[in-house]
Amino acid sequence: MGLLGDETPPMAPLVGGISSDIWRVELAGGPICVKRALPRLKVDALWEVPTARNRHEWDWLTMAARVLPTSVPRLLGRDDAAGCFAMTYLEPTRFRIWKQELAAGQIDPDTATAVGASLGRLHAATAGDDDQRTRFATDKIFAAIRLDPYLRATAARHPALSEQLRALADRTAQTRLCVVHGDVSPKNILVGPDGPVFLDAECAWYGDPAFDLAFCLNHLLLKCIWRPEAREALFDAFDRLVTAYEAQIDWEPTARHATRTATLLSALLLARVDGKSPVEYLDRPQQQFVRAFAIAEIRRQTDSVRALREAWRDAASDTPWKGPE
């Protein structure tokens, strides 16, 4: 990448994430971040994914920088042979991880609005773009890192829902409308001085934008169990994110997008307790609550994200859980 010169700089691994090795590298001009994709993800279940996704992440970050320059770290260089690239290191004192803020009960409605608006703008910018369709023809990688471990693995654990979940995975695989990030999770969003910064786009794919929205909303609903004292603020954040996102939709009827989002959201709730990548912060009773709710909504085929959120609010309000000490 030509960034080191004659230096042998100190390096320190950064924690977080299951799919890559990430280091902070101390150069004479200041720290940078280097990321390398792993062939096998760091989870209990066997989960292997092609490392070419590192290059696709670079392409997604390049695209996003053209659309919203402050929404991604600045890229510095890449080495395709080594399967890694370098980008600016964003100081945690200025760029806070959204998940950590949510976990602390700090629910800023403006952040939710900004995330929804930025995500919608990124989707709108690539909708119908044949060049991007070709660049992000990553169907096999997206299936290996998203559709298989989340939807199809969950289908295998729930035979009664198998046909429905597999059909949902197939529908998602066949919907190709714009460039999708694929991992829009609060752990991959930094709250920066100029708005949200999106990280970890290894799953980038030209496909269904409803997946990104559902993936993010799923985390906001699950945080209502983790931080029950912040439920109403989280529900407000949910609504603000959806409203801001939907204001950017110009590539298809909003109602059609909303239907796909709602059906994916129900399935992803179940996947985060019974798929290959369960969330780490729910105990067994909480997992069972999510499981029962998601199964009911999948069977009901709820087609409105707001109706799903309201049903979640009603069900969650009857639970006795307390937040973490």
Domain-by-domain residue ranges, the chain?
11-88, 96-316
**Cα separations in angstroms, 241 against 23, 50, 57, 112, 267:** 32, 32, 24, 5, 20
The answer to whether the pTM exceeds 0.85 is yes
Tokens of 186: 């609060």
Angstrom distance (rounded) from CA 278 to CA 144: 16
Of 76-80, 265-269, 301-305, least confident by mean pLDDT is 76-80
Check residue 55 and give its pLDDT.
87
pLDDT band at 129; cut points 50, 70, 90: very high
> Is the pLDDT confidence value at 72 over 60?
yes
> How would you write the chain as a 3-class SS string?
CCCCCCCCCCEEECCCCCCEEEEEEEECCEEEEEEEECCECCCCCCCECCCCHHHHHHHHHHHHHHHCHHHCCCEEEEECCCCEEEEECCCCCCCEEHHHHHHCCCCCHHHHHHHHHHHHHHHHHHCCCHHHHHHCCCHHHHHHHHHHHHHHHHHHHCHHHHHHHHHHHHHHHHCCCEEECCCCCHHHEEEECCEEEECCCCCCEEECHHHHHHHHHHHHHHHHHHCHHHHHHHHHHHHHHHHHHHCCCCCCCHHHHHHHHHHHHHHHHHHHHHCCCCCCCCCHHHHHHHHHHHHHHHHHCCCCHHHHHHHHHHHHCCCCCCCCC
Residue 12: pLDDT band (50, 70, 90) is confident
Q: Determine whether domain 11-88 maps to CATH 3.90.1150.10.
A: no
Q: Tell me the pLDDT tens digit for each residue of 228-251.
A: 999 999 999 999 999 999 999 999
The Cα–Cα gap between 30 and 15 comes to: 20
Confidence band of 18 (pLDDT split at 50, 70, 90): low
Asked if CATH classification 3.90.1200.10 holds for the domain at 96-316, the reply, yes or no, is yes
Give me the pLDDT at residue 325, please: 36
